[in-house]
Amino acid sequence: MGIEESESGIGAERHLEKRGDGPKGVQESSVICGLEIPRGYWRLQGGNMAGTLYLCATPIGNLQDMTPRVVETLRSVDVIAAEDTRNSIKLLNHFDIHTPMTSYHEYNKVEKAKQLVGQLLQGRDIALITDAGTPAISDPGEVLVRMCHENLVHVTSLPGPSACITALSLSGLPTRRFCFEGFLPGEKKERREALEALREETRTMVFYEAPHHLQRTLEELLECLGDRRVTLCRELTKKFETVTLTTLGQALADCEREVPRGEYVLVVEGKSAQELRQEKIASWEAMTIEEHMEYYGRQGLDSKEAMKRVARDRGVGKREIYAHLHGLEP
């Protein structure tokens, strides 16, 4: 078994050796992730058990986005762990891939991950795929990847389609800094806390949403963030792909007028530096200039430095603060 190195870089040639009697004191077998690994099992030179987990990105809508490297890997591994085998069989049939599949999803992610890690430790190669996009991103695959690292199992990623990055690049909003939020929590309290944590976020935010929840999400984003710019990306890479740069308020009005269809990615503008500055100034202006001076005086600043800080906080010149304090205002 094993995958030899090819031009597409799928794996490394394996040199397996059979374990002999080994040093004294070595147990006849060990139990890892609930599976008994016999002492005489095959291992890689250097002492590491064989097996690699391949994270294979699959198309998010257009089958032509499938990379040759992923196709070759899916044909070569021992088993494919798929989010939904009923959906994935269509993909495998299209590319004439006949590798056995097993299900790995949100509801079996812990116990099944233990089983898969056990198989990897026994020398099997496994590919992980989702229904669409890159595994382990807003996906139960993160559990399997973590367990692999904890058990020193080699993990590699075969990059490809990602709805988050595709939408971000199409959005027309700032892309230098962004945060990916995926689907907001369904539980009411967790959802409210997640939104509150984003109230002061200055980075561009990326969300996933299903059509039947879109109106609710737009309402909550509008209430929490204000009427920010948002780009709604629908059915990315598919025939009826749409990308609309608008505002949260207008998007909500459109949603109320026409029933949403298709899967959405929402790219939402972060809070601007100017907006943050204005809010800070407003908070200082809630106190009098004398109270503001006292605030810095209690921190040990002399009157000259305190006056400079007060002027900066309020966005005015130091002379204006001096004039107010000395009754020189007209």
pLDDT by residue for the chain (330 residues), tens digit each? 443 333 333 333 333 333 333 333 334 444 555 555 544 343 443 455 669 999 999 999 999 999 999 999 999 999 999 999 999 999 999 999 999 999 999 999 999 999 999 999 999 999 999 999 999 998 999 999 999 999 999 999 999 999 999 999 999 999 999 999 999 999 999 999 999 999 999 999 999 999 999 999 999 999 999 999 999 999 999 999 999 999 999 999 999 999 999 999 999 999 988 787 777 777 777 788 888 878 888 888 888 888 888 888 888 888 888 788 777 764
Give the pair of three-digit tokens for residue 33: 């992730």
In terms of CATH, what superfamily is 16-160?
Tetrapyrrole methylase, N-terminal domain (3.40.1010.10)
d(CA 233, CA 327): 58
Domain locations in the chain as residue ranges: 16-160, 164-271, 274-325
Six token digits for residue 56: 């294979």
Give residue for tokens 């032509």: 64
Which of the listed CATH numbers 1.10.150.20, 3.30.430.20, 3.30.950.10, 2.40.128.720 matches domain 164-271?
3.30.950.10
Look at residues 126, 13, 7 and name the one whose alpha carbon lies nearest to residue 68.
Answer: 7
Single-letter residue type at 58: T
How many whole angstroms from its chain centre is CA 287? Answer: 41
**Phi, psi for 52 (deg, rounded to 5):** -135, 140
Nearest to 223 by CA among 259, 196, 243, 261: 196
Q: What is the 3-state secondary structure (H, E, C) of 201-219?
A: CCCEEEEEECHHHHHHHHH
